[in-house]
Amino acid sequence: MNQFCQLLEKYDRLVIFDTETTGLQWSRDEIIEFAAVTVEAGENGPVVSGEYDQLVALSPGGFVPETITKLTGLTSQDLRERGLSKERVCRDISEIISGNSLLIAYNAHFDLSFLYYFLLRSGDPDILKGKDKLDLLTVYRDRRPYPHRLLNAIEAYGLGGKVRNSHRALDDVYATLAVMEAMDAEKQDLVEYVDLFGYIPKFGCPGKPIGSVTYRPQTGGRPLYEEGEIAHV
């Protein structure tokens, strides 16, 4: 790993993270797995400085829908037996993202929205204030035509033999990191996408916008950061 120079000049730590959830509604559904990898500057370039992967206990009466079990392999029993309390995971997340950290995810609006409500219920959502954010889905939409799932990015960059999109949080974090490395090797403009999220115009912004993020309709052509008209939604 010899990329990310611009990002690590600006931030002490890059936090690449992913969540697995019981559904798609962040105000109603739950995080059932949280994983993160931290990257920091080393003597010979960026290094993975930490790794976290934890199942999260369900709320009383909560359960993992069959569709999610088929997707992730996780069951309600797994979470009852191996899940940490939500409060403990919130404390761990607070430590992971402390300091001058950049939060990075593929489809970051989704994961950050879940993370906010998770912290609101069981921790301190204020730990997200002042944290810059990078959405690699936005970057990928600028780089390649539809479709734009993480699996498509893995295939487009020839990473299929190295990582996989298994819908388990830690696997997906390492897949996201590998895609990010490939993106940075291709064009070193990731820093331009910090706090800039794209959305498909016909669908609009996906749910409640994140206050610190600028949203712009993404239509292809020029990179999103070169588009003149800013859309705060």
Output 1 or 36, whichever has higher pLDDT: 36
- Please report, rounded to a whole number, the percentage of residues in the chain having pLDDT higher than 70: 97
Distance CA 79, CA 16 (A): 23
Answer whether residue 172 is part of any domain.
Answer: yes
Express each pLDDT in 210-226 by its tens digit.
999 999 999 877 899 99
Q: For residue 232, is pLDDT > 50?
A: no
Express each pLDDT in 122-163 by its tens digit.
999 999 999 999 999 999 999 999 999 999 999 999 999 899
pLDDT at 228: 60
Answer whether residue 231 is part of any domain.
Answer: no
* Count of H-run helices and E-run strands, the chain: 8, 7
pLDDT at 166: 86
Answer whether residue 33 is part of any domain.
Answer: yes
pLDDT at 207: 79
∠ CA 94-100-102, rounded to 5°:
80
What pLDDT band is residue 208 in, cutting at 50, 70 and 90? confident
pLDDT at 80: 95
**For residue 20, what are the domain limits?**
5-226
Q: For residue 81, is pLDDT > 80?
A: yes
Helix (H) or strand (E) holding 31: strand 31-42
Q: For residue 206, is pLDDT > 90?
A: no
Phi, psi of 54 (to 5 degrees): -145, 135
What pLDDT band is residue 184 in, cutting at 50, 70 and 90? very high
What pLDDT band is residue 36 in, cutting at 50, 70 and 90? very high
Q: For residue 2, is pLDDT > 80?
A: no
Answer whether residue 232 is part of any domain.
Answer: no
β-bridge pairing 45-55 and 31-42: antiparallel
CATH for 27: 3.30.420.10
User: What Cα–Cα distance (Å) separates residue 172 from each residue in 46, 154, 158, 164, 176?
Assistant: 20, 10, 16, 7, 6
pLDDT at 141: 96
Q: For residue 1, is pLDDT > 60?
A: no
pLDDT at 219: 85
Domain count across the chain: 1
Answer whether residue 233 is part of any domain.
Answer: no
| 193-205 average pLDDT score | 93
Answer whether residue 157 is part of any domain.
Answer: yes
